[in-house]
Structure 1
Amino acid sequence: MDDTTKEDGSGSSRKPVRKEKRSYIFRKWTWIDVMKASSVGTVHLLCILAPFNFKWEALLFGVILAMMSALSITFSYHRNLAHRSFKLPKWLEYSFAYSALFALQGHPIDWAPDKSGPALHRFHHQFTDSDRDPHSPIEGFWFSHVFWIFDSSYIREKGVGGTITYHGTGIVNSACHIWGSRAWNTKDTSRNIWWLGPFTMGESWHNNHHAFETSARYGLEWYQVDLSWYLISFFQALGLATDVKLPSEAQKRKLAFAR
């Protein structure tokens, strides 16, 4: 809980008011909330049943689908649509955007900012660690990890967020604001978790991302594994990815901690 201070008419401060965390279980659920919770619950239930119907072909397919959908989320939804870190020809942009639908994390339109305002992920950067952050870590680990998805009354204007892909995205929202290292003075709780780099397609270099949110590259050092950046670099070499944004040395100096 946070303390907030209110003032009376004379301008003097009154006793701090305790601010309760938002309730995301015991509250009024809309039919949209129920549908989203059912979708997430269903994929987890299917994972529980999977060992009783085990086939190596099915396991291989599941792992490939998880990797492809995770890559599509970070490459397309996050870096291309939400942050406009690089440009692609429309046929290639649409191909990756609609392949990301398999991740069950919303429609491409939910992630792409338009004239009406920023998309859901932009709110996370604009209001990081505040009660307007759609998956604020101050609300607790499990809220920032998954439960925020089910509260459409709170995130109606921000959009909505396979099991492995759900938790791959969720762990960046939750763990990468709690544990890990900080390379840049971002004034928020974002952190880098090196061992998650290969599993999140480079998304776990989260402090790097918050420092330079429009950068197409999150693993800024050669040893920071960033699979999405490798794919972007491949398309850039082919001349298909253009206007690829990277942080300048001046920007790095500005946000670097004093050595």
Structure 2
Amino acid sequence: MAIVVVFFLCHWFLSLFSQTFFLHRYASHKMFKMNKFWEKFFYGFTFVSQGSSFLNPRAYAILHRMHHAYSDTEKDPHSPHFIKDVWGLMIKTKNIYLDYLRYKLEPEPAFRDRYPTWPSLDRLSDLWPTRIAFGLGYTAFYVAFATHWWLYLLLPIHYFMGPIHGAIVNWCGHKYGYSNYDNHDHSKNTLPLDFLMMGELFQNNHHKSPNDANFARKWFELDPTYPIMRALHALRIIRLRKF
């Protein structure tokens, strides 16, 4: 059982790190710079770590910039205040995401450009055989190592890891918790020590200062991703805009 739990936790946090570090703080906000080699490295790392639920950086960035511009209004692509449940939130977000992923819609000029692209990897990642291959890999691991039937209940989370992370952040981060600032929306800080989502649940702080790499503000708050970014900055892998 232990090896399956370790596998699940590794997938959860590596996928989550890719989402908050590369898709959110880099692709969407450009909180730091890195050269083309490291950009491709983390692009590929995001693809591998998210696997079957890989989220395209361009489409992710467009939706996230829209979310900030229209936070908790009817034009927000994933506000929980105009949808009755989490499932409805995920379906709405998916539909808008796919429109931008497949170029069915063009974003407003304010939301365009300044996001990383890798056309060949983007095409590969969006193929059903690619997503199915990752899913089969997760399943094979469980067949080899799961010792109890209930462990298989974790498999669907592996298949949809990226969207599940997004749903938790967008639902909980705009409904539950406390506020340090009046941002004229419903953004909340759900956890003062965000061990679950690596800083993503400091939505109230983040909406106050969208381009600040550290999502924590108060002395009792901790954003676990920020110290990692500071270490990458010290190693000259990235260059933070400010710290």
Alignment gaps of 5+ in structure 1? 1-54, 113-118, 247-259
Query: Which secondary structure does the structure 2 equivalent of 1:75 belong to?
Result: helix
CA RMSD after TM alignment: 2.5
Asked if 1 retains the 8 angstrom alpha-carbon contact of 2:60 and 2:97, the reply is no
Structure 1 or 2, whichever has the larger Rg, is 1
Identify the residue that residue 204 of structure 1 maps to in structure 2: 201
TM-score when scaled to structure 2? Answer: 0.67
Alpha-carbon distance in 1 for matches of 2:87, 2:77: 10
Identify the residue that residue 23 of structure 2 maps to in structure 1: 77
Cα offset, 1:184, TM superposition: 1.0
Query: Which secondary structure does the structure 2 equivalent of 1:94 belong to?
Result: helix
1:230 to 222, 227, 234: 227
Asked if 2 retains the 8 angstrom alpha-carbon contact of 1:172 and 1:203, the reply is yes
Identify the residue that residue 138 of structure 1 maps to in structure 2: 81
Alpha-carbon distance in 2 for matches of 1:60, 1:127: 38
1:64-86 CA-to-partner distances (Å, cap 9, x unmatched) read 01110101100010001100011
TM-score when scaled to structure 1? Answer: 0.63
**Length, aligned pairs only:** 184
Alpha-carbon distance in 1 for matches of 2:97, 2:54: 17
Identify the residue that residue 107 of structure 1 maps to in structure 2: 56
Q: Following superposition of structure 1 onto structure 2, how do residues 5-84 of structure 1 map, counting pairs within 5 Å?
A: 55-84=1-30
Point out which structure has higher relative CO (alpha carbons under 8 A, 6+ apart).
2
Asked if 1 retains the 8 angstrom alpha-carbon contact of 2:192 and 2:221, the reply is no
1:40-67 CA-to-partner distances (Å, cap 9, x unmatched) read xxxxxxxxxxxxxxx4323321210111
Q: Aligned AA for 1:199?
A: L
1:97-132 CA-to-partner distances (Å, cap 9, x unmatched) read 2222242242223234xxxxxx11100001111221
Identify the residue that residue 36 of structure 1 maps to in structure 2: none
Alignment gaps of 5+ in structure 2? 112-157
1:215-247 CA-to-partner distances (Å, cap 9, x unmatched) read 11101234312121111111122233214235x
Identify the residue that residue 180 of structure 1 maps to in structure 2: 177
Asked if 2 retains the 8 angstrom alpha-carbon contact of 1:144 and 1:170, the reply is no
Asked if 2 retains the 8 angstrom alpha-carbon contact of 1:72 and 1:96, the reply is yes
